[in-house]
Structure 1
Amino acid sequence: MSGKPKLHYFNGRGRMEPIRWLLAAAGVEFEECFLETKDDLIKLRKDGSLLFQQVPMVEIDGMKMVQTRAIANYISAKYNLCGKDLKERALIDMYVEAILDLYELLMAHPFQPEDKKQQHFANLVDKATNRYFPVYEKVLKDHGQDFLVGNHLTRADVQLLETLLMAEECKPDILAKFPLLQSFKARISNIPTIKKFLQPGSQRKPPQDEKDVPRVLKIFY
């Protein structure tokens, strides 16, 4: 039986947010089942829903899928976001893996202890502006298309846009030296399904901050 995908996670970004983005970009409506307490997580574990005892978990096409990359790969393949051939898929995988490295840094930033927050921020900005963004700027220049791979929207575009917007939340001028990334951001943000997801009231989650820590700890620890 196949209905809307059902996403099991807490009501926040975390590792589920890239999955929300991919479904939204594909124009797929989804339901969310939020974990509010540790008992909610224990219940999923006890009923056998979590293969490795952890979330995110997505119910889709009769499966209870876990592991973020596996879920994202499935959604990308199902909704034509994974390229037209093996070479394009390899490029997408390379770009996405690096995007996820930066995403992890961005996601961890609000949860840093106060005495380490400044150092973490400096490291984040350094890696974004000296390691990752120059690569994507060059890819866009060399490729000469509106998208990172091929001439159509893929998972790499969606996840790069998500990460660029998160980086700007941390440092609003972080793209100042990257004109092609600025144009990319504006262009991909204007794709109708993505534009809709960026509007207030969508299922996109707001930035996380220190006040979210006790809520998350209550569920997972």
Structure 2
Amino acid sequence: MESIRWVLAVADVDFEEVFLTSRDQYLKLLDGGALKFQQVPLVEIDGMKLVQTRAILHYIAEKYNLMGKNLKEKAMINMYAEGTMDLMEMIMILPFTPDPKSKLENIEQKALTRYLPVFEEALKGSMHLVGGSQSYADVLLFECTLMLEEKFPDILKDFTCIKTFQGKMSSLDTVKKFMAPGGKRKPQPNEAYVKNAMQVLGFA
């Protein structure tokens, strides 16, 4: 859900969160038909109950003008967004991995050789990945760079365009509000979070 929070926050959309803390809450949603494909996150918006993170992100991006000005820009934005999500997903599964340390070297190597050079090139001469205006791909890239630095503090040292982009994103009022103490940004999952998630979803 964190990427969805990020995009909503940057779009300056106020939202209410409901956290599942018990298996019964999940089963109630399931029995009520709210959880298509039997999964979360679930976002209720404009009379719809949406699951599938990418579908939710696309809808929010379209609704709040974060999806580009034409079909070609949308395709490029989605391409960069998918790249960031591929990389973030490698990091997001670490708390649920029995031996996460063994995965870190692979993630770092892929970030340095496969992903970050692409974003660095795209940001040369621009503060945005596509079209000279902010898109949800920019938001996801900013989230992704923060996640990477939490694992590998010096990973961006040779990517000057990304660092400049990161500084620009950090200066946005909506981002400052989201990241401020007491804001809606969530920390990395800890053992208690993982245990609760596994219980709620029926894996423990």
> What TM-score bracket applies, with the shorter chain setting the length?
over 0.9
- Summarize deviations over 1:95-144 as a string: whole Å, max 9, x none: 0111110010111122321xx32220001100111110011001112xx2
1:170 maps to 2:141: no
- Summarize deviations over 1:122-181 as a string: whole Å, max 9, x none: 01100111110011001112xx21111112110010000001001111111111111111
Residue 10 (structure 2) aligns with: 25
Letter in 2 for 1:124: I
Picking from 78, 87, 104, the partner of 2:89 is 104
Following superposition of structure 1 onto structure 2, how do residues 1-16 of structure 1 map, counting pairs within 5 Å?
A: 16=1
| 1:111–1:209 CA contact under 8 A, matched in 2 | no
Residue 4 (structure 1) aligns with: none
1:158 maps to 2:143: no
Cα drift, residue 57 of structure 1:
0.6
1:132 maps to 2:144: no
CA–CA separation in structure 2 for the residues paired with 1:185 and 1:157: 10
Residue 122 (structure 1) aligns with: 105
CA–CA separation in structure 1 for the residues paired with 2:40 and 2:190: 20
Picking from 185, 189, 196, the partner of 1:215 is 196
| 1:59–1:65 CA contact under 8 A, matched in 2 | yes
- Summarize deviations over 1:51-104 as a string: whole Å, max 9, x none: 222111100001111111111000000000000001110100110111110010
Q: Secondary structure at the match of 1:64?
A: strand
CA–CA separation in structure 2 for the residues paired with 1:56 and 1:180: 33
| 1:111–1:210 CA contact under 8 A, matched in 2 | no
Please give the TM-score of this superposition, normalised by the length of structure 2. Answer: 0.96
Whichever structure has more strand as a proportion of its residues is 1
Residue 193 (structure 1) aligns with: 174
Aligned residues: 202
Please give the TM-score of this superposition, normalised by the length of structure 1. Answer: 0.89
Residue 40 (structure 1) aligns with: 25
Cα drift, residue 24 of structure 1:
0.4
Letter in 2 for 1:137: E
CA–CA separation in structure 2 for the residues paired with 1:211 and 1:185: 30
Cα drift, residue 49 of structure 1:
1.0
Picking from 6, 20, 43, the partner of 1:58 is 43
Listed as ranges, the gaps of 5+ residues in structure 2 are none
Cα drift, residue 20 of structure 1:
0.5
Cα drift, residue 192 of structure 1:
1.4
| 1:140–1:180 CA contact under 8 A, matched in 2 | yes
Cα drift, residue 200 of structure 1:
1.1
1:85 maps to 2:66: no
Taking only aligned residues, the RMSD between alpha carbons, in angstroms, comes to 1.0
Residue 73 (structure 1) aligns with: 58
Cα drift, residue 210 of structure 1:
3.2
CA–CA separation in structure 2 for the residues paired with 1:37 and 1:64: 20
Q: Tell me which stretches of 4 or more aligned residues in structure 1 moved more than 6 Å.
A: none
Letter in 1 for 2:101: Q
Aligned-pair identity in percent equals 50
Letter in 2 for 1:207: Q
Q: Secondary structure at the match of 2:68?
A: coil
Cα drift, residue 38 of structure 1:
0.9
